[in-house]
Amino acid sequence: MASPPQPISGIADFLADPVESADFPQTILRFRNDRAAVSVGLDGLTDDQWIAHFGRFQPLPENLPGPLALRYHGHQFRSYNPDIGDGRGFTFAQLKDDKGRWLDLGTKGSGTTPYSRFGDGRLTLKGGVREILATEMLEALGVNTSKSFSLIETGEALQRNDEPSPTRAAVLVRLSHGHIRIGSFQRLAMLGQTEELNRLAAYVIEHLYGETPSDQPALRLLEQVVQRTARLAASYMAAGFVHGVLNSDNINVTGESFDYGPWRFTPFWDPEFTAAYFDHHGLYAFGRQPQAIHWDVVQLAIALSKVADIEALAPILDTFPQLYEAAYANAMLARLGVSPRGDEDDLALVQAIEAGLATRTVGIDRFFFDWSGGRRRPGPYDRTYAEHFGAVEALLARYDPIRMTDHPYWADAEPCSMHIEEVEAIWSAIDEKDDWTPLHAKVAAIRRMGEAHRWAN
């Protein structure tokens, strides 16, 4: 466990407000991520200790003395909102992981804060279950994501307008590589706090990027964010994932995906597929995610122009499309399990895969499952592949595999997927019968798939 002082303490004066957690009627442990806990030295906690820290929020030894609700602004569906911040969560602790990185333990559903506005500061149990499924699946597919660390049911009945109510409540703890968002910088820029802008940029560079800040931290910050978010956008596309709410307050400057609400995995390659029922114009549809993330990064550059010349920031911004294209090719080939050639064949192969998948004759997960390692396995989609994926097969003959396919997963009849019907079935078992077996079985299946994807020569 890390020793004090935790880095966030040095910037809490302008970044956060001390808050208290809600006092829940019950604390029933439903999920503990021991795999993630190992990485930060917390796997030895008993269940009672776990509940005390992550349900009652007793401070961890030699850590932050109390929770901190972070302040930020942000563009929400392209409209600037200065009235947001951590409205139902807080940063509870900072720990170093087994790679020497500083990580945050943050909450969702832990009670009201100064930024709750008219909200109750709570999280539905279904929302917590959905976040577990999202983060586990994304991690298995190689997406840089926060980890669902703990889920504790709290015994409260919540009223929600968009789902059957009253519904059960929970508090979620996530393990994340920082909770500093583009919106954190937007707030400081809007308030004209230029000294704090530079301090926050230096904090991110030193404690989240592991570098020594220069006398121009804003430029290095933007350079890193452009690179990291280009990779994030690419990984979403390769995973067939739709985040749903890519507002600037939901974009972490570490390039780590987090804060899952109306997420979905698209079954087919459908650029118009939209996750959020309230995204009426498809702003954050599957195929628009790279553009949406790039737009958010532009807002970061605008904020940083308070402390750096726009002439120096603009060329860094301009590298996003090229970085995304390269990252996208690498992400698609990584999911396929072949080594990039580093030439024009990579782009041609990705375009051929897109063209085949765009026919919607085979699902995204099924395609990558059947072609893992770059060689097609025989099966029920032989005719489809012969008709629509001939260019893919011809190009793949030039590629070397980077994944062994003798892991037992590759002998399964179907790929491990995470579509809305299964999410709802898992929740129904919990809601109607208090049966958690399907959730824990699905997490085990996802982790087995992740192991198979990492099965290397």
Using DSSP, how many helices (H) and how many strands (E) does the chain show?
16, 12
Structure tokens at 272: 């118009």
| 3 state SS of 192 | coil
| 3 state SS of 102 | strand
By C-alpha distance, which of 125, 102, 119, 122 is closest to 111?
122
Cα separation, 72 vs 70, in Å, equals 7
Cα separation, 133 vs 136, in Å, equals 5
Structure tokens at 415: 């790929």
Catalytic sites, residue numbers: 249
Cα separation, 158 vs 264, in Å, equals 23
Cα separation, 378 vs 68, in Å, equals 54
By C-alpha distance, which of 158, 153, 171 is closest to 106?
171
Residues near 191 by beta carbon (within 8 Å), at least 6 away in sequence: none
Cα separation, 425 vs 126, in Å, equals 11
Q: Are 130 and 262 in contact (CB under 8 A)?
A: no
Structure tokens at 222: 């933007």
Structure tokens at 420: 């809305």
